[in-house]
Structure 1
Amino acid sequence: MKKRIVIWLLLFSLIMGETALCCRAEEDEGNTDISQTIDGMRQQEQETQNAISDLEKQTKETKDAISALQGEKEKTQSNVSNLQNQSSQLQSTINGYSAKLDSLSAEITEAENAMAEVSSEIVELDKQLQQARDEEHKRYELLKKRIQSTYESGGNTGLARLLLESGSMQEFLTKYEYLTAIIEYDKKKIAEYKALQADIEAKSAVVHEKEEELDQYQTQLDEKHEELSGLTAEVKGKLSSTQNTLSSEKNKLADYDNKLAELDKKMKSLQAKTAAAQAELAKQIAERLALMKEDTSGAYSASESELVWLAATIQAEADGESYTGKLAVGSVIMNRVKSSAFPGDVVSVITQNMQFASYRSGKVELIMSVGPNSTCLRAAQEVLDGARVGDYLFFMTKYYADYYRISEYTMIGNHAFFYKWSTLPEPEPAVYDGGEQQEQPQEPEEPAQESEGEGQEQSEDSGDEGGDSEENDDEQPSEGGDEGGE
């Protein structure tokens, strides 16, 4: 009987041993599968991180290109302004020259009118000179005949004989008076002839003088007109060249605007892709951490500087929230510090790329410059000492939690907190009664733009590795308004 019991005990031991070995083998196999799954997830995370790095590199290159183009645009704009001023000055010079040309043209016209009057005078004087010459010729012929007649009559002797041959004193006196009258007449005509000659010479001199004076004045005016015309043509040439250059520079400006618009479009596309990649990375990390479930509790030995950083970030993100809401934000930061998926110190977590928008906007450092308030300092010290409001690694406004279709989150004040980035399935598209698919409303390209001015960053935060779209709350300083900034 005892032997039988011993045999049964041995058999039972063997069976239990084999069962334990099988369970241990299955457990080891399960652990191996989880390990392999986690390794695969880490590899996916690294690939996503590499994609983010590449997108950030492209973003930086695009920013540099935009900055360089803006610099070139500013230089060109300065050139355009200078050319416009130069063009205005040249046009003013041309206007001045045109005014002078108009004045000279008026003087030339006056001179030409004066010359026309002088020409009329000359014509009249020439007519008078011709008449005077004709009269001179007639008188010359008469005088010549008179002298010839007197000579043929014996000259003075002949005249004396004429008087002596008078038959009576009365005849003598009559002949004497006649001869005296003839002599006086001849003297008068000779004097008139001489006066006529003098008048002709004087008028000829005046006409000649006026002709020379007007010719000289006309020459001066023509020279000035020609000089001003040359200067005007030269300045017009400069103006034409300046306007051509100005047109070219304006075309450059238009080209810069087109290129900047293209780069801006590219930048927005890169930012959207980066935000999507950050969201995907956050989701991947959250899924991996859900399998590992790290312990992020416990105190943290922080320096005075880290305490101020933490308190300032809590104030930037949750200044308008309840004390529990402030502790919750601090808990997210400290859970990340304790998690293997994030940097291992307070400052590195807060300043991690594409995480807290309140830091990127400069709000955290602004608060640090004046010092965080006592309530946020106390909340920061408590979470450093180990206090936690949940094991959350992410937070955002309810608007963005619903926008990203986060399946499980806890609302504390205006913020939705969650550990695992798991999403609800996409809803089935609605259809009409006739069976036609109803057009679905488009999602906003940059949902975070609902907050006060930092929309784009918010959209990025919503999906970054830390998933702190939440952080966009800094957009609402007094309310801790994160990504949704509601």
Structure 2
Amino acid sequence: MVTAVPLEVHAEELDETIAVMQQQEAETQQTISNLEKQTKETQDAIKALQGQQQQTQTNVSNLQNQSSALQSTINGYSSKLTTLNQEISETESQMAEVSSQIVQLENELSKAQQQEKDRYELLKKRLQSTYENGGSSGLLRLLLESGSMSEFLTKFEYLNAIMSYDQRKIREYQSLQEQIQAKKEVVEEKEAELDKYQDSLDEKHDELTELTNTVKGQLSNTNSNLNSEKNKLANFDQQLKELDKKMKGLESQTAAAQAKLAQQIAERLALTKEDTSGSYSASDEELIWLAATIQAEAGGESYTGKLAVGSVIMNRVKSSSFPNTIVGVITQNLQFASYRSGKVELIISNGPNSTCVNAAREVLGGARVGDYLFFMTKYWADYYRISEYNMIGNHAFFYRWITKPEETPAEQPQENQDQQDDQEQGDQSQDNQNQSEEGNQQEQSEENQDDQGQQEQPEENPNEQEESGENQEGQSEP
């Protein structure tokens, strides 16, 4: 006999299971919040470090300019010192020559003085002899004792010649002495001028030497500071590399946590089937937000593709696992890269095209293309091994995040970049056609540029693609 299990027991067990799963989701969400906090702190650290790096680079440039200026100053001082040294050498040579002239004049003066002394002694002896013999009377007697007039005249001429000679020699000596003294004064004056000039040159030389030493000290300090700032730059580069590595690790962890959370939500949703159908009474602002996001995500897709993206957004609004407003769903953290990049708000500022506005109105009116809660490109759907999805245009749409068993370690599949580019160009061509119909060429150009940037990034890092490309497309990170 089989005992029936009351439905209430099953309901209680289901509620308990869902409660446990919601707790796990909350823990994963907390992990994501912690990772986001660390990411923000790391971004702030990078920004601060980059600011310090820029300031240090400015300091290096300023110090290099200062070092060059100081070196130019030193070179100028060295040139002046060389010129002064030459002038000092020339002045010293002139002083040596003047000193030699003074010595020579001193010798000449000494000889003249000796001659004066000798002549003075001779004159004194002659006068003494004359006066001892009667002075002028004796001379007169000498003349009167002459035996004849001829002898008298001869003696007179002799005596007169002697007296004239003595007087002439005295005058010559006096003149020579005066000339020597005058010349000596000139030489001494010149020597004094040279001494003064020498002192001035020595003073300038000492001043320039002191200035040179001062500037050399400044140059040494400047070069020391320059080396210190250059070392800082090298350290900044190393720190930035480490922070960049940390950022990539945090981004990878956050992406993995987001994927885990999406899968947890999908597993919980698989236990019950929520009804996400029906219309939604939206304000004009919400209509514009929905239309702009549809245009940002599926501007190059078919009209059905646009409706499908709108359906994912409205299904999330109706689901208990996501925010219950259109703006809340679109701006939910790490969900739509088109919002994070500013593309959605750019489209809002320019006004979404009429095709996307019509698609938004239909979805708000209750039109749905499936009950999908997630979408991404086929590339990433296969990368995450999503087992059940429907392709609409270039996007894979699904309700449950159900994955295939992992047979080998997950590696990023190598897609043909040319095929991706061709596909991208096809999307853009379709988008161009739609935009041409709506007459909004400028907005289309901006949209193409944004789509192009999102296509290029995934080839490097699947986690980066998950955030920058596929989160934008409704990947399950609530």
Structure 1 length as normaliser, TM-score?
A: 0.81
Deviation at 1:272? 0.9
**Shift in alpha-carbon separation, 1:183–1:472, aligned structure 2, 3 A:** farther
Aligned to 1:195: 175
Q: Does 1:420 align with 2:404?
A: no
Map 1:376-455; keep pairs closer than 5 Å. Answer: 376-428=356-408, 451-452=455-456
Residue identity matched to 2:108 = Q
Residue identity matched to 1:364 = V
Separation of aligned partners in 1, 2:125 and 2:457: 124
Aligned to 2:287: 307
Q: Return the match for 1:372 from 352, 364, 367.
A: 352
Separation of aligned partners in 1, 2:107 and 2:457: 98
Q: What SS does structure 1 have at the residue aligned with 2:207?
A: helix
Aligned to 1:432: none
Residue identity matched to 1:469 = E
Deviation at 1:43? 2.2
Q: Return the match for 1:232 from 212, 217, 227.
A: 212
Residue 25 of structure 2 contacts residue 264 of structure 2 at CA under 8 Å; is this kept in 1? yes
Separation of aligned partners in 1, 2:47 and 2:33: 21
Separation of aligned partners in 2, 1:413 and 1:229: 83
Residue 395 of structure 1 contacts residue 415 of structure 1 at CA under 8 Å; is this kept in 2? yes
For each residue in 1:54-87, what CA deviation from the matched residue of structure 2 results, as whole angstroms up to 9, or x when unmatched? 1111112222222333344444444444444544
Aligned to 2:331: 351
Residue identity matched to 1:330 = G
Deviation at 1:212? 2.0
Residue 460 of structure 1 contacts residue 469 of structure 1 at CA under 8 Å; is this kept in 2? no
Aligned to 2:472: 471
Residue identity matched to 2:259 = A
Q: What SS does structure 1 have at the residue aligned with 2:397?
A: strand
Residue 375 of structure 2 contacts residue 473 of structure 2 at CA under 8 Å; is this kept in 1? no
Residue 458 of structure 2 contacts residue 464 of structure 2 at CA under 8 Å; is this kept in 1? no
Q: What SS does structure 2 have at the residue aligned with 1:407?
A: coil
Q: Does 1:221 align with 2:201?
A: yes
Deviation at 1:91? 4.1
Deviation at 1:47? 1.6
Aligned to 1:10: none
Q: Does 1:459 align with 2:463?
A: yes
Deviation at 1:97? 3.8
**Shift in alpha-carbon separation, 1:374–1:456, aligned structure 2, 3 A:** farther
For each residue in 1:354-399, what CA deviation from the matched residue of structure 2 results, as whole angstroms up to 9, or x when unmatched? 0000000000000000100001101111111111112221111222
For each residue in 1:178-232, what CA deviation from the matched residue of structure 2 results, as whole angstroms up to 9, or x when unmatched? 2232222222111112112212222222232222222222222222322333333
Aligned to 1:133: 113
Separation of aligned partners in 2, 1:386 and 1:316: 21
Residue 53 of structure 2 contacts residue 236 of structure 2 at CA under 8 Å; is this kept in 1? yes
Deviates more, 1:101-110 or 1:261-270: 101-110
Separation of aligned partners in 1, 2:337 and 2:395: 15
Separation of aligned partners in 2, 1:266 and 1:231: 51
Residue 275 of structure 1 contacts residue 461 of structure 1 at CA under 8 Å; is this kept in 2? no
Q: What SS does structure 2 have at the residue aligned with 1:343?
A: coil
Q: What SS does structure 2 have at the residue aligned with 1:341?
A: coil
Separation of aligned partners in 1, 2:392 and 2:121: 142
Q: Does 1:158 align with 2:162?
A: no
Aligned to 1:476: none
Separation of aligned partners in 1, 2:134 and 2:122: 18
Separation of aligned partners in 2, 1:336 and 1:461: 22
**Shift in alpha-carbon separation, 1:322–1:310, aligned structure 2, 3 A:** same
Q: Does 1:169 align with 2:149?
A: yes
Residue identity matched to 1:54 = N
Aligned to 2:33: 53
Deviation at 1:153? 4.2
Deviates more, 1:137-146 or 1:350-359: 137-146
Deviates more, 1:174-183 or 1:240-249: 240-249
Q: What SS does structure 2 have at the residue aligned with 1:191?
A: helix
Separation of aligned partners in 2, 1:463 and 1:442: 15
Residue 449 of structure 1 contacts residue 456 of structure 1 at CA under 8 Å; is this kept in 2? no
Separation of aligned partners in 2, 1:417 and 1:247: 59
**Identity rate, percent:** 65
Deviation at 1:149? 3.6
Deviation at 1:28? 5.3
Residue identity matched to 2:311 = S
**Shift in alpha-carbon separation, 1:443–1:134, aligned structure 2, 3 A:** farther
Separation of aligned partners in 2, 1:392 and 1:112: 104
Unaligned runs of 5+ in 1: 1-17, 430-439, 474-481
Map 1:312-331; keep pairs closer than 5 Å. Answer: 312-331=292-311
**Shift in alpha-carbon separation, 1:449–1:428, aligned structure 2, 3 A:** farther
Separation of aligned partners in 2, 1:407 and 1:124: 121
**Shift in alpha-carbon separation, 1:449–1:30, aligned structure 2, 3 A:** farther
Separation of aligned partners in 1, 2:98 and 2:339: 94
Q: What SS does structure 1 have at the residue aligned with 2:335?
A: coil
Separation of aligned partners in 1, 2:109 and 2:189: 16
Separation of aligned partners in 1, 2:411 and 2:249: 21
Q: What SS does structure 2 have at the residue aligned with 1:340?
A: coil
Residue identity matched to 1:471 = Q
Residue 95 of structure 2 contacts residue 194 of structure 2 at CA under 8 Å; is this kept in 1? yes
Q: What SS does structure 2 have at the residue aligned with 1:462?
A: helix
Residue 331 of structure 1 contacts residue 392 of structure 1 at CA under 8 Å; is this kept in 2? yes
For each residue in 1:414-440, what CA deviation from the matched residue of structure 2 results, as whole angstroms up to 9, or x when unmatched? 2122222222233458xxxxxxxxxx9
Separation of aligned partners in 1, 2:79 and 2:197: 20
Separation of aligned partners in 1, 2:200 and 2:269: 100
Q: Return the match for 2:123 from 139, 143, 149.
A: 143
Residue identity matched to 1:160 = L
Q: Does 1:212 align with 2:189?
A: no
Separation of aligned partners in 1, 2:362 and 2:190: 114
**Shift in alpha-carbon separation, 1:455–1:373, aligned structure 2, 3 A:** farther
Q: What SS does structure 1 have at the residue aligned with 2:278?
A: coil
Task: Tell me the matched-pair count.
Answer: 440
Separation of aligned partners in 2, 1:23 and 1:441: 49
